[in-house]
Amino acid sequence: MASGRNGFPRGPNLRNSSSFKSKLPPSSAVRRSSPGALGAGADAVSGRVRVAVRLRPQNAEELEADADFADCVELQPELKRLKLRKNNWDSDTYEFDEVLTEYASQKRVYEVVAKPVVESVLEGYNGTVMAYGQTGSGKTYTLGRLGDEDTSARGIMVRSLEDIFSNISQETDTVTVSYLQLYMETIQDLLNPANDNISIVEDQKTGDVSLPGATVVEIRDQQSFVELLRIGEAHRFAANTKLNTESSRSHAFLMVQVRRSVLGRENDFTSEHDVSSNGVNNFKPPIIRKGKLVVVDLAGSERIHKSGSEGHMLEEAKSINLSLSALGKCINALAENSAHVPVRDSKLTRLLKDSFGGTSRTSLVITIGPSPRHRAETASTILFGQRAMKVENMLKIKEEFDYKSLSKRLEIQIEKLTAENERLQKACEDEVERIKLEAQKQISEAERDCAEALKEEKMKCQMDYMESIKQLEEKWMLNQTKHASNGFIGTSHAAEGGMPSGNDEVSELKKLLQNEVQQRKAAELEIKNLKDCLLKSMKPELAGGNADIFNLQKMLEEESQQRKKLEEEVIVLRHQLSQLTLEASQTTSCPDRSRTGNGFVGLDSVSSLRHLQFKDASDGERPSISNLHEKVGLHKILSLLESDDPNVRIHAVKVVANLAAEEANQEKIVEAGGLSSLLMLLRSYEDETIRRIAAGAVANLAMNEFNQELIMAQGGICLLAMTASDAEDPQTLRMVAGAVANLCGNDKLQTRLRSEGGIKALLGMVRSRHPDVLSQVARGIANFAKCESRAATQAFANLGTKHGRSLLIEDGALPWIVQNANNEASLIRRHVELALCHLAQHEVNAKDLISGGALWELVRISRDCSRDDIRALACRTLTSSPTFVAELRRLRIEV
Ligand code: ADP
Ligand code: MG
């Protein structure tokens, strides 16, 4: 027994150390007591059961009863020694881990006995604090005091929980409590007394002992724990009363499970907020540490030795004996490293399996009283403590992965991600749809633009192509002509370029021209001389015939009388005329309608030239003129046209011209021989005005088909042609051209008109460049071409004969036509376009049109002409003529 005297501290526990893996012990106490564990393993560390002895102060009864006796124990706290008196002269000395005197405060007891255990529990180890001692020695005082009135009296249970609560996180950690008592091998639930037969379940694998039937209450604060303890104590008291027993006969177990989420705070699902950056690797399950603190208030140890007398007490004593002696046996076996530890002998040892020889950090407080009367009990208690100090536990951290929480969190995460994914997918689909629509829109726009641009480009290309082909053709033609004229000069010159030979030609032509001019001048001079000679030779002849002279003088007298009469009439007429002229000049302030008002809008030959009128003879005059001719008589007015007086002639012609502007007068004028007189006036070179007015009158008369024939019959075309070549005034030319243009519209007169120089006269007038003149020329050409075309068609239809080449082409009108086919003035352009179309209708003209460059214009007309009918005509012509079709194919031009 005395061997325990120096049982502390001990060396390394060789039995266990070999199996240890390196891990720092949870507290310095462990390190100190079991240095062998250092640097060994990771899983477990050696942790000896620590034992403190606490001496209760003498109570009132002892003070009295033991007054004459010395205490049986003597404490040496600074040496952590206890002396147990054997007799008056001898004592045994024991060392403990802690020696707590009767003056030790509850606080100090807690710090020495329980605090290291509580700290271990907070770190995830199991921990046991157990009190062992005789009834009345202060076990309950040490463990279970609530300290309601005096907080300094609070026992280990209350202080442990206080410590736990101040060290855990309310968010991630939980504390659950069960409170039970073991009485006669029956486990009763102190939190639910009805639950009075709780069975122990052992995990075969881990050896863990649990009580699944016990009430587990989660507590969140100290106050609710104290309440729970109070309830438990009340139930314990009630249960013991009912069983007619005492609390000292049962073992009380307080079990506190502390569940802490270790990585929960630092490492816990940052991925929730930032999944992508942390990735899947961060989905490590959180680690849960489950430390369990067991506080055991054993039944009084004296029961081991005392057997009850009979009945129930006997059974009870047996039972208490059984469990406490089983505990002693186990402690002995563990202390001696015995191979067999009889844990299964009682429920107490089964419940304490982990506390002694298990993984728990265990702290035992043995309580003793000072009284020598209980010396034996005290000695037994001390020996129990000494043996317990030899028990080595293997502290093992209780931690596990919190898969449940991980899976829950992952589920939430998955749900979140699924929702996010759905949202993104929807957004993506929407975006794709939007882009698709946008793209389709852009594609169709681009296609449209492209088609338009293509069309435009094609058109432009065709035009460019046409232009270049045209130029090449022209060059080629020019070369051909040059070759033809140069003849044998050969190709060597052509290769050098035509310029030198062209210059030679020009200078040669200039020379020729100069010669011609000189010759002409010489001829004129000769004619003048001859005229003079003729006059001189005629004079002697006149002097010779006296008889004839007498007759002549008589006739002269008659004539002069006649003349006098006429002169009187003339005076009257002149007076009337001057009055009319005055009236007319007053009305000239009215707008000049002769040019603008007439508007040669139509293209038909006869009707298109409305009454050509003059500035000095406006509408306002006509009634007076009508009156005049009624008053004076048309014959007389016409006769005045031949008056010697130029003024009279001018006035007369104005009157006649204005009369001729009225369709109603035209017939009368012609009947009275007015047409002949007007034509005669065209001969007079000296007065431009007379010629202009006369030509206008003729033009007006030429609107009528009958008159046209008459004009032709009287050689009018020659006169008009003469005037055309002599006159300079654009208005005169305009009138002449108008007259000829009207004549051009007569089918019957075509051949004659041309043979008498009508077409040449028209073409000659283009030298004027005045648009009014050009417009009449164009109209004439268009009229002529139309009649020609009509005649050709009829000839072919009636007789099947083919008409010859166009007289217009014969007379060299084509270059001008081609040049003016795109004239800026729309009126000219339209006449010329129409003329071209008529010419092009006959295959016989096709070759000339092509070589004359008219094909290009026809193509242009077929594309650009603003008049639908002309455009269609050009198109039809181009596609129906085999010559044109072939040429266009050769030039690769599409119509
Ligand atoms: P046990 O639970 O061991 O049977 P108790 O704790 O009930 O003993 O103590 C018995 C009596 O002794 C109680 O009245 C208690 O107040 C008193 N007592 C025990 N220990 C001390 C102590 N250290 N200081 C003062 N009184 C004590
Ligand atoms: Mg007690």
Ligand at minimal distance from the CA of 236 is: 2
pLDDT digits (tens, 9 = 90+) for 859-881: 889 888 888 888 998 998 899 88
Task: Indicate which atom in ligand 1 lies nearest the CA of residue 131.
Answer: 3
Looking at the chain, the whole-number percentage of residues with pLDDT higher than 70 is 79
Residues 6+ apart with CB under 8 A from 30: 37, 45, 46, 47, 48, 361, 395
**CA dist., res. 788 & res. 758, Å (int):** 14
pLDDT of residue 273: 47
pLDDT of residue 305: 57
pLDDT digits (tens, 9 = 90+) for 342-373: 999 999 999 999 999 999 999 999 999 999 99
Residues 6+ apart with CB under 8 A from 635: 672
Residue having the nearest C-alpha atom to atom 25 of ligand 1: 57
Residue having the nearest C-alpha atom to atom 19 of ligand 1: 138
Residues written for the chain: 895
Residue 887: helix, strand or coil by DSSP? Answer: helix
pLDDT digits (tens, 9 = 90+) for 478-513: 888 887 776 544 444 444 444 445 566 667 777 877
Q: Does residue 517 register a pLDDT over 80?
A: no
pLDDT of residue 238: 77
CB-neighbour burial class of residue 357 (10 A; exposed 0-12, middle 13-18, buried 19+): buried
Testing ligand 1's pocket by substitution, the residue of 61, 141, 245 carrying the most ligand atoms inside 8 A of its CB is 141
- The answer to whether 728 touches 693, Cβ cutoff 8 Å, is no
CA angle 83, 84, 87 (to 5 degrees): 120
Cα 320 to averaged position of ligand 2 atoms, centre (Å): 14
Q: C-alpha distances in angstroms, 259 versus 209, 410, 564?
A: 17, 21, 159
**Mean pLDDT of all residues in 105-119:** 97
Task: Indicate which atom in ligand 1 lies nearest the CA of residue 141.
Answer: 6
Residues 6+ apart with CB under 8 A from 591: 597
Q: Does residue 95 register a pLDDT over 90?
A: yes
Task: Indicate which atom in ligand 1 lies nearest the CA of residue 142.
Answer: 6
Q: Does residue 854 register a pLDDT over 80?
A: yes
- The answer to whether 854 touches 427, Cβ cutoff 8 Å, is no
pLDDT of residue 627: 59
Ligand at minimal distance from the CA of 105 is: 1
Cα 111 to averaged position of ligand 2 atoms, centre (Å): 21
pLDDT of residue 620: 44
Q: Does residue 779 register a pLDDT over 90?
A: yes
188 phi and psi angles, rounded to 5 deg: -110, 145
Selection from 138, 228, 113 nearest residue 180 by Cα: 228
pLDDT of residue 667: 85
Q: Does residue 588 register a pLDDT over 50?
A: no
pTM for this one?
0.49
Q: C-alpha distances in angstroms, 104 versus 54, 101, 146, 382, 384?
A: 8, 5, 18, 18, 22
Q: Does residue 545 register a pLDDT over 90?
A: no
Residue 418's pLDDT band (cuts 50, 70, 90): very high
Cα 99 to averaged position of ligand 1 atoms, centre (Å): 17
Cα 230 to averaged position of ligand 2 atoms, centre (Å): 15
pLDDT of residue 459: 81
813 or 490, higher pLDDT: 813
257 has which bridge partners?
176, 292
pLDDT of residue 458: 82
Most confident of 22-26, 617-621, 635-639: 635-639
Average pLDDT, the chain: 80
Tokens of 195: 């639950």
pLDDT of residue 610: 39
Selection from 240, 286, 281 nearest residue 261 by Cα: 286
**Mean pLDDT of all residues in 660-680:** 85
Cα 164 to averaged position of ligand 1 atoms, centre (Å): 26
pLDDT of residue 132: 96
Task: Indicate which atom in ligand 1 lies nearest the CA of residue 104.
Answer: 23
Ligand 1 contacts (CB < 6 A) are 56-57, 59, 133, 135-141, 248, 300, 367
213 phi and psi angles, rounded to 5 deg: -80, -10
CB-neighbour burial class of residue 331 (10 A; exposed 0-12, middle 13-18, buried 19+): buried
Most confident of 368-372, 514-518, 663-667: 368-372
Testing ligand 1's pocket by substitution, the residue of 53, 54, 55, 56 carrying the most ligand atoms inside 8 A of its CB is 56
Residue having the nearest C-alpha atom to atom 5 of ligand 1: 138
**CA dist., res. 188 & res. 199, Å (int):** 10
Q: Does residue 652 register a pLDDT over 60?
A: yes
pLDDT of residue 378: 94
* Across 8-17, 366-375, 736-745, 808-817, least confident range: 8-17
182 phi and psi angles, rounded to 5 deg: -110, 120
> How many beta carbons lie within 10 A of that of residue 472, not counting itself?
11
Cα 756 to averaged position of ligand 2 atoms, centre (Å): 163
Residue 63: helix, strand or coil by DSSP? Answer: helix
* Across 97-111, 295-309, 514-528, 744-758, least confident range: 295-309
Cα 138 to averaged position of ligand 2 atoms, centre (Å): 7
DSSP string computed for 553-616:
HHHHHHHHHHHHHHHHHHHHHHHHHHHHHHHHHHHTTS--TTTTTT------HHHHS----BTT
pLDDT of residue 200: 95
pLDDT digits (tens, 9 = 90+) for 435-472: 999 999 999 999 999 999 988 888 888 778 778 877 88
Cα 345 to averaged position of ligand 2 atoms, centre (Å): 24
pLDDT of residue 279: 45
Ligand at minimal distance from the CA of 181 is: 2
Task: Indicate which atom in ligand 1 lies nearest the CA of residue 137.
Answer: 3
